[in-house]
Each structure stands twice: as structure tokens, then as C-alpha cells.
Chain A
Amino acid sequence: MVEIPSKKEMYCALEERHGVETQKKFSEASVAICGLGGLGSNIAIMLARAGIGRLHLMDYDRVDISNLNRQQYIVSQLGMYKTQALRDTLHVIAPYCEVTIDTLRITEQNIKELLNDEKIICEAFDKAEEKAMLVNGVMENFPDKYLISGSGMSGFSSANSIRTRKVTDHLYICGDEVSDMDDGIGLVASRVTLCAAHQAHMILRILMQEYEP
């Protein structure tokens, strides 16, 4: 068994890759991730690897066999709550990332109380209606927060159509904004992960005070 590196060793390795000033910003950051499917599970792992200090993970669902084609869960986690399974995975990747979980459904009614603490919020649901609900709810209750949403990553169209678009000074949408899961075109890890990477990357850029996609 390899001994788990100390917090200082992990931090120094991150500083070496990202730069001292940037790493300080990442380590002090706290990010909320709403939905832990193909987008959210990938985004959480990317942000934890980048050394984000704290992640707030929210999802009501359990790991299902149909998730394994694209979501960051493993067979032995089938049936577990996604919040708990992902927290376990994050702990073995980035043991010093502080992970807070809420196993519940996010609704118009609880947005205000659930998302009060984080300045950056990631929308990572799969249903279009829930995406719209969260975007409207966050922008109405917290107009000064940053919201990074994913819309349009279904199917097998070109990887190059996935991009990040700045809609307002506080709202970014990643994806092709067209391909709809409800059209029965499938959902594959490579394309969903591309969108997740766009979202995670935009979050890192915002933390570095780089606000253009």
C-alpha cells in the first residue's frame, strides 16, 4: 500500500502544476454542483483534481446500471446514493478536498437555502425542465453568483460543436444547445465528458478572474 501523501505534499504538487497564486485561488474556492450524473460526477472529479478547496454535491438519485456508460461510478457502487458514492471516489483521488453532500431533490422552494454559501454554482441536471428551473431560480435569488450550465451534449454529433457561451455576466452555457436526449439520440461518455470539461474549465477560469469563455 502506498502511503497517502500529506496535505502539504499534495498542495506543493498542485502549486508546481498550476502556479502558486492560481493554486491559492483554487484552494480557497467553494463550488456547488447540482446533479451528479454524467456532467456533475465528471465536473466534481476535475475540480477536485485541480485542488478546489470545497465541493458541495447535491443529488437525490442512486447509482443505476444505466449510468455506467458515462458517469463516474463503478459496479460496486450500484444502488448507492450518488452523493455518497462520489464522495468516496473523491476521497481517494483528492483526500484533502472538503466534500459536503446533500441527498435531496433541488426545487424552486429550496434553492435559496441550499445554494446560499457558494459563489459558483454548476447546473448539471439531465432534464431540460430542471435545468431551466435551476437557472431561473439561481439568477432570480442570487443574481451576483456565477452559474455554469450544461445544455446539449446528447448523441454522436461532432465533438467540436460543444462550446462555452457567455449569456450574461453571470450565466454561462456549455454544450451545443441543440442535441436533446428526448429525441432518442443517445448519450455517450465522450461527448458528455466534453461538456463537463467545458463547465469545469470555465469554473477554473472564473476563479482566475478570466471571465471570457
Chain B
Amino acid sequence: MVKINGNLVDAVGKTISQYLQTTDYEQKRIAVERNGEIVPKSKYSEVTIQDEDVIEVVSFVGGG
């Protein structure tokens, strides 16, 4: 199992892109942190989620 934003999710074997397609995140407003590093956007379709990964999808909101 994988922990994504604190929830246990069965996403092992999916790429980051494939996982994101199952969610409602607005892709232009997010950054993805995986095991302490930000995953480059260009790698979303290459990086495969491994068992015991800890992932956070950070969603930015407007205002400044």
C-alpha cells in the first residue's frame, strides 16, 4: 500500500500521471512530493509508484 495525503491507497504500479487521472486535482495547481522530494512534472508519466511510498499532492490556492 501507498500513503497519499495521509490515506492508504492501492496505487502501486501506477505512474504518477495514471494516479492523478483517477483524482479531481487540477494539474496546473499542484506539486507532487514523493518520499521527501518534489517529482518533476516532466517525470509524472515515468515515475512508478512503489510499495510503501509516501506521497503528498500539494494543491496551491490563489491569493497574494
Contacts and interface: CB of A to CB of B under 8 A. Distances in A.
B58 to A, nearest CB: 6
A36 to B, nearest CB: 10
Contact of A192 (B36, B38, B60, B63): B63
A126 B63 contact: yes
A91 to B, nearest CB: 24
Interface stretch (A2-10, A110-118, A167-175): A167-175
B64 A152 contact: no
Given A128-B29, A132-B28, A140 B41 contact: yes
Contacts of A140: 38, 40-42
| Size category, B interface | 10 to 19
B29 A187 contact: no
B20 to A, nearest CB: 13
B31 interface: yes
A154 B40 CA distance: 28
B62 A180 contact: yes
B64 A153 contact: yes
A180 B31 contact: no
Contacts, number: 91
Contacts of B60: 128-129, 131-132, 135, 149, 151
Interface in B21-64: 28-31, 33, 36-38, 40-42, 56, 58-64
26 contacts: A37-B64, A38-B63, A38-B64, A40-B64, A126-B63, A128-B60, A131-B29, A131-B60, A132-B28, A133-B28, A135-B60, A136-B38, A136-B41, A140-B40, A140-B42, A149-B60, A151-B60, A152-B63, A153-B63, A153-B64, A177-B61, A180-B61, A181-B62, A182-B61, A182-B62, A192-B63
Which 10 pairs, one residue from A and one from B, show the smallest C-beta to C-beta distance? A126-B64, A181-B63, A154-B63, A139-B38, A181-B62, A180-B61, A131-B60, A140-B40, A128-B60, A128-B62
Given A133-B28, A140-B38, A178-B61, 11 more contacts: A128-B59, A136-B31, A143-B38, A153-B64, A154-B62, A168-B37, A169-B36, A171-B31, A173-B58, A180-B62, A181-B61
